[in-house]
Structure 1
Amino acid sequence: MEEIQFRMGNRRFYDDKAFPRGFAKSGNFTRQEEELLVAYGGTMSDLESGRIAPENDDEYHFLFVLHDPSKAKSKLEKVWLKYVKLARERKPYYTLNVKRAAFGWPNRDFEATTGEEYYEED
């Protein structure tokens, strides 16, 4: 694995809103990716928001990658981009919508009746 010249976060990084059961249990991240996010996610989040300034070349490159994701080279940068994509982009929402007529089901748009017309005697 490559040498990481990145500051460890002051706190463990979690995103309970987007990943309430944790990164690895969401099924989107491997254990290694989860460990990187938990250890370095606080620093990456603070760098992205501007709360802290970059101190070395890797941190400057991370900020560059935020503007041009195709330049990501380290595992840390790739994991952060994956996190941002999964946490911040809209998730697709699928519904099942069928027409009743396609299955021969009765149309529910009829007037209520007492049912007497069905029991007329001849």
Structure 2
Amino acid sequence: MATITRDQLIRKPFNDFRNYPYGFARSGDFSIRESDALTQYGCLISAMLDGQYVPTSAEDVALLAAARGENAPQTAVEKAWAKYQARINRPKVASMYGRGRVSDDSLDTDSSEDDVLVED
């Protein structure tokens, strides 16, 4: 099995076609600098998180710690990755026409509480 180098990972552009089918720059979620940082360093960060690449420099160690959430993001790349993770892991909004169910217990109609009846 061939080993992956840092240069190979940086040269390979990062794309997330599932969440951003038209790219980061055209999504409206990221600025130009953030989309460039994600495209350039995304493969490196995801390879470090998956364990395919072991960080060797202090910059890579700091980048991995920020990507894992152990340290606060400091550089533009770390901030862009944190923003990307926040965007793809946000809760999905249900449609008002969808098939979602209400899970609020206060709206339960089978409660045994006494109902107030008003007679005229």
TM above 0.5: yes
Equivalent pairs counted in the alignment come to 92
1:1-122 to structure 2, matched below 5 A, reads 9-68=10-69, 71-95=72-96
Aligned-partner SS, 1:66: helix
Q: Which runs of 5+ in 2 are unaligned?
A: 1-5, 99-120
Q: CA deviation at 1:36?
A: 0.9
Looking at both structures, which has the greater relative contact order when contacts are Cα pairs under 8 Å and sequence separation is at least 6? 1
Higher Cα radius of gyration: 1
Give TM-score scaled by structure 1 length.
Answer: 0.65
RMSD: 2.3
Q: CA deviation at 1:67?
A: 3.5
User: Percent identity of the aligned residues?
Assistant: 25
Aligned residue type for 2:43: G
Give TM-score scaled by structure 2 length.
Answer: 0.66
Q: Which runs of 5+ in 1 are unaligned?
A: 1-5, 98-122
Q: CA deviation at 1:90?
A: 2.7
Greater Cα offset, 58-67 or 71-80: 58-67
Name the structure with the higher helix share: 1
Which of structure 1's runs of 4+ aligned residues deviate more than 6 A?
none
1:34-60 C-alpha deviation (Å, 9 max, x unpaired): 111111111111011111000111111
